Amino acid sequence: MITNRPRGTLDIVPEESVRWQYVESVAREICRRYGYGEIRTPVFEHTELFRRSVGEFTDVVEKEMYTFDDRGGRSLTLRPEGTAPAARLYLEERLYAGAGPAKIYYLSWPIFRYERPQAGRLRQHHQFGVECFGSHDPAVDAEIIALAWDFLGALGLDGLVVGINSMGCAGCRTGYREALRAHFSGHLEEMCEDCRRRHAQNPLRLLDCKRESCAPFIATAPAIADHLCEDCRADFSLLREYLGVLGVDCRLDSSLVRGFDYYTGTVFEITHDALGAQDVVCGGGRYDGLVETLGGDPSPGVGFGLGIERLLLILEREDVRPPGPDPLDAYLVCMGAEARRHAVGLLHRLRAAGVAADMDYMDRSFRAQLRRADRYPARFALILGEEELAAGTITVKDLAGGAQRTVGVDEAVALLCAGPPPGEDE
């Protein structure tokens, strides 16, 4: 059916977009406080950008990208994540040329992955992401995590868990990889098929297996923490110290390994139970080799991506009600064609003065117009009938309390602009 939206996509109706706008306004405010500036990039990029950065053999690149050839024969891909485009922009717009570090964020970027949908997993979703390029100071890692934490906290959420780990630099990773191979090689017969494949291809992924049968071998596996070089170890302990200072309560999770190839060093996830199996609302980490991979001079970076739909899902399931829409200031209620003709002009005048005002266009009865005003909900009903018309006045009714009084039109406009409710005389 052509009126059905494509699988795994969502429509956003006005009632819902209010919540998006609220979340977005909080994100903008937090970014402002932390000194990050917004970027916007095309929704599609050269396919090669993602192949190179995310990694040729990751699930996302292998089977989840929306890739197409344009009419000029270029292979383009709807972005499946935000960090690579941000890194591309960093290079293309030469953000490295300014005083470092480059602190940027993106808000509600559409992200596309061809996946099997379920709640919290869509083919098009939206992310809020923050990236910092140019510094390897662990204080920046801490800042990034704290920013995400503050943002979620500002929305009134709790029950969030921050998991962190260090995947080490390229150097410590090779040693660790061998240690993992050695540990698992004796148990391969008892482990799942995927794990046997991972053992050969990428032993780090072994830690990611969630099968019960593999769990005991993972539990006893060597921890990356024991295989970090001195620099990585120092960075990681400094990060944890900073997180303590920043009031971020985090959990060391040595099995935490992220799925994109560009991650190095710090990795972290923020999860919430309300999400079920897709429990990650925010994920990120360091990607010190990414910029170099894309052909730039080596430049470290840290960042995260945060799923807006998942966030909204948590808010809904936890019954955290963000501030609702501002009620309408005034709803014009008129009786008769003559009053209606006057109402059009008055409505315009109110709006020009900054008052949120509306009127009936459905030819409703007087009673129904008043009910409309109530349900909107509007703060005041402005009643315009024959009496008011003759006297050049209008009746201002406070819908919450029920008090009303009839005043001159100029006074009514002034009253609505000023805000305070009208007098109590009935």
77 binds RNA (CB under 7 A): no
Q: What DSSP assignment string belongs to 135-151?
A: ---HHHHHHHHHHHHHH
Residue nearer to RNA on the CB measure, 244 or 421:
421
The CA-CA-CA angle for residues 27, 33, 39, to 5°, reads: 55
Cα–Cα distance, 80 to 50 (Å, whole number):
8
The CA-CA-CA angle for residues 275, 276, 281, to 5°, reads: 35
Closest of 3, 335, 22 to residue 155, by C-alpha: 22
Tokens representing 274?
């309300």
The stretch among 183-191, 215-223, 289-297, 366-374 that binds RNA (CB under 7 A) is 366-374
| Most distant CA atoms of the chain, gap in Å | 96
Amino acid of residue 200: A
208 binds RNA (CB under 7 A): yes
Residue nearer to RNA on the CB measure, 94 or 371:
371
Residue nearer to RNA on the CB measure, 230 or 326:
326
395 binds RNA (CB under 7 A): yes
The stretch among 91-99, 167-175, 232-240, 252-260 that binds RNA (CB under 7 A) is 252-260
Closest of 294, 259, 307, 272 to residue 84, by C-alpha: 294
226 binds RNA (CB under 7 A): no
- Smallest gap from Cβ 98 to RNA, in A, equals 27
Closest of 81, 7, 96 to residue 41, by C-alpha: 81
Cα–Cα distance, 250 to 160 (Å, whole number):
10
| Candidate list 276, 324, 392, 423; residue touching RNA; CB under 7 A | 276
- Smallest gap from Cβ 214 to RNA, in A, equals 9
Residue nearer to RNA on the CB measure, 227 or 258:
258
Q: Are the CB atoms for 289 and 302 separated by under 8 Å?
A: no
| Candidate list 282, 314, 315, 343; residue touching RNA; CB under 7 A | 282
- The Cα-based distances of 185 to 104, 182, 219 in angstroms read 43, 5, 15
375 binds RNA (CB under 7 A): yes
Cα 424–chain centre separation: 46
A 10 A CB-CB count for 101 gives 21
Q: Are the CB atoms for 380 and 404 separated by under 8 Å?
A: no
Residue nearer to RNA on the CB measure, 35 or 336:
336
- Smallest gap from Cβ 225 to RNA, in A, equals 20
| Candidate list 131, 372, 413, 416; residue touching RNA; CB under 7 A | 372
3-state class of 19 per DSSP?
Answer: helix
- Smallest gap from Cβ 418 to RNA, in A, equals 20
385 binds RNA (CB under 7 A): yes
| Candidate list 188, 245, 352, 368; residue touching RNA; CB under 7 A | 368
Amino acid of residue 349: R
What is the per-residue binding string for RNA in 167-206, x denoting contact by CB under 7 A?
Answer: ---------------------------x----------x-
Count of residues engaged in binding RNA, rule: CB under 7 A: 70
Rg of the chain taking only CA atoms, in angstroms: 28
End-to-end C-alpha distance for the chain, whole angstroms: 56
Number of H helices, E strands in the chain: 15, 16
374 binds RNA (CB under 7 A): yes
Footprint (CB under 7 A) of RNA, residues 41-60? 58-60
| Candidate list 371, 408, 414, 424; residue touching RNA; CB under 7 A | 371
364 binds RNA (CB under 7 A): yes
Closest of 259, 40, 14 to residue 129, by C-alpha: 40
Cα–Cα distance, 178 to 181 (Å, whole number):
5
Footprint (CB under 7 A) of RNA, residues 290-329? 305-307, 309-310
| Candidate list 12, 188, 277, 352; residue touching RNA; CB under 7 A | 277
Torsion region of 35: left, alpha or beta (phi above 0 gives left; psi -120 to 50 gives alpha): left
Residue nearer to RNA on the CB measure, 94 or 251:
251
Residue nearer to RNA on the CB measure, 346 or 383:
383
Residue nearer to RNA on the CB measure, 100 or 259:
259
402 binds RNA (CB under 7 A): yes
Cα 116–chain centre separation: 21
Tokens representing 84?
């690579």
- Smallest gap from Cβ 256 to RNA, in A, equals 10
260 binds RNA (CB under 7 A): yes
- Which residues sit at the interface with RNA, rule CB under 7 A? 4, 6-9, 58-60, 64, 81, 111, 113, 115-122, 125, 127, 194, 205, 208-211, 258-260, 276-283, 305-307, 309-310, 335, 362, 364-368, 370-375, 381, 383, 385-388, 395, 397, 399-402, 404
